[in-house]
Every structure is written in C-alpha cells, then in structure tokens.
C-alpha cells in the first residue's frame, strides 16, 4: 500500500462509531437549502413555464398535439386520424378546455399547403393559438467539400 513508507495510516483519525448531532444538523441544513434555494425548474423542466412580459417568446403549453407526416398522414394521441374527420376532431378538441392550444408537429417534407389548411381549420374550430413545430433538416452527406 502507498501509505506504508510514510506511515500515514497511523496518523489518520479513527472512524466515528455513531452518528452524532453534527450529522443531523448537516442533513437538516441540506434539506433546508434545497427547499428554500431550490428551483422547481431543475426538477421538472417545462412545467408551468414563466411568462416574461416584453420578451420575444412566451412559453405556451399545448393542449392538443397533431402530427403531420410527409405522406399526408395525421397522427393524434388516439392514433391515425382520417382526413375526412379532421374538422370534427378539431372542433371536439377545441371544446375540451378553456383556452385550447394546438401544436402541429410537421415532418420536414410535409406540404406547406396542408399545414396552412390545418391551421385555418383549427382557428375556425375555436383554438386560441396554433403553434407549429418543424423538424430541422438533417444533412445526409458527410459535409466538407
């Protein structure tokens, strides 16, 4: 062992035999620190986002999510949605809550006309806001020259 040449093991303090009051004071102070100085956003990011007045973007939670694929398929939490039932589904979802917000997750190859049509249907159905999320194009080549 590396401590033998200097005989460091003999100079170490013995291990404590029990937990004294100092241990419980430490645990109490750590718990107090996390309850007072802890942030709720560290534990659960994205929940109850703060609104920043005058800021360029405010965090808005979507109440309904609709995924639009490049093939024209519409996906909801309940599964595949036929295009003929889109208007009825949007009206039902808009009536589900007080300030409904629709998030359209579009594939990068989805038709812009289709996304615009869905956005118009959602506005007429009663959604207070329609948000659009589009996948960033991923480079298939290795880059370079």
Please report, for the domain that includes residue 122, its CATH number.
3.30.420.270
Domain presence at residue 128: yes
Residue 125 sits in which domain range? 64-134
Does some domain include residue 31? Answer: no
Number of structural domains, the chain?
A: 1
Decide if 108 is inside a domain. yes
The answer to whether residue 105 sits within a structural domain is yes
CA distances (Å), 96 to each of 2, 67, 80, 132, in order? 70, 19, 20, 20
Q: Nearest-CA neighbor of 96 among 65, 117, 58?
A: 65
DSSP at 10: G
The residue ranking higher by pLDDT, 138 or 68, is 68
Q: Which range is least confidently modeled, 1-10, 53-62, 109-118, 131-140?
A: 53-62
pLDDT confidence of residue 117 = 92
pTM above 0.85, yes or no: no
CA 75, distance to chain mean position in Å, is 19
Mean of the pLDDT values across residues 36-60?
Answer: 56
Residue 98, in any domain of the structure: yes
Q: Is residue 71 part of a domain?
A: yes
Question: Could you give the percent of the chain with pLDDT greater than 70?
Answer: 71
Residue 52 pLDDT exceeds 60: no
Q: What token pair was written down for 8?
A: 């460091």
**Is residue 20 one of the residues assigned to a domain?**
no
| Residue 49 domain flag | no
The stretch 35-57 carries a mean pLDDT of 56
């Amino acid at each position: 062992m590396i401590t033998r040449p200097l005989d460091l093991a003999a100079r170490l303090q013995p291990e404590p035999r029990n937990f004294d009051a100092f241990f419980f004071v430490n645990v109490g102070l750590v718990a107090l620190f996390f309850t007072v100085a802890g942030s709720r956003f560290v534990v659960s990011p994205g929940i109850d986002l703060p609104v920043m007045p005058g800021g360029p973007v405010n965090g808005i939670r979507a109440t309904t999510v609709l995924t639009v694929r490049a093939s024209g398929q519409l996906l909801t939490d309940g599964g595949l949605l036929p295009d003929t039932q889109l208007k009825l589904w949007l009206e039902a979802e808009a009536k589900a809550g007080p300030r409904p917000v629709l998030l359209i997750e579009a594939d990068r190859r989805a038709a812009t006309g289709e996304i615009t049509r869905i956005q118009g249907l959602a506005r007429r159905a009663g959604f207070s806001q329609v948000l659009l999320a589009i996948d960033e194009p991923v480079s298939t080549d290795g880059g370079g020259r």
